[in-house]
Amino acid sequence: MISDNDMRQRLNLVLTAGSFVLQEVGTTGEANVVSLSVVPRMSGIYWVPGKTILKSGRSIESVLRVDTNTGGTLASVYWWIDDIWYTHEDADVINAIGLSRDDIFPFDWEYHVPLEEDIFHQP
């Protein structure tokens, strides 16, 4: 579970922002809010609203931190479960979801704001 209040506020902003995403600036963790119809390739790290589709088929509202310099590689995945934020790596996330590990992983994901280049979801 994510207990840092600033991180929860950032995640809430991204999840509810519609076509807005956060674009990281530098290496300090700061980010700019930008409105995009498509996240451009080779433009850094973005926090994008989306959803995760678990192996079982269940969907979870998510914030996906993605590196556009590496074809859309996920840098972090944040899940909104019962009004609490988790990372996909949290020790207590399996209990929070209420499924077995085998029903969760591997998972797929979708962006609410598409990426110009997404090597994991090519047509």
Strands (E), the chain: 20-24, 31-35, 45-53, 59-67, 73-81, 84-87, 108-111
pLDDT digits (tens, 9 = 90+) for 25-55: 988 889 999 999 999 999 999 999 999 999 9
In a domain, 67, yes or no: yes
Do 89 and 98 contact (CB within 8 A), yes or no?
A: no
At residue 28, the pLDDT reads 86
Domain membership flag for residue 54:
yes
The domain tally of the chain equals: 1
Q: Does residue 120 belong to any structural domain of this protein?
A: no
pLDDT digits (tens, 9 = 90+) for 9-19: 999 999 998 88
Averaged pLDDT for residues 56-81:
97
In a domain, 98, yes or no: yes
Query: Does residue 105 surpass a pLDDT of 90?
Result: yes
Residue 99 lies in a domain: yes
Q: What are phi and psi of 117, to 5 degrees?
A: -130, 120
Task: Quote the domain boundaries for residue 102.
Answer: 5-111
Q: What is the CA radius of gyration of the chain?
A: 14
Residue 123 lies in a domain: no
The yes-or-no verdict on residue 102 having pLDDT over 90 is: yes
Give CA–CA dist 117/104, Å, rounded: 26
- Domain membership of residue 121 (yes or no) is no
Residue 8 has pLDDT above 90, yes or no: yes
Residue 93 lies in a domain: yes
pLDDT above 80 (res 123): no
1 is written with which tokens? 């579970």
In sequence order, what are the beta bridge partners of 86?
79
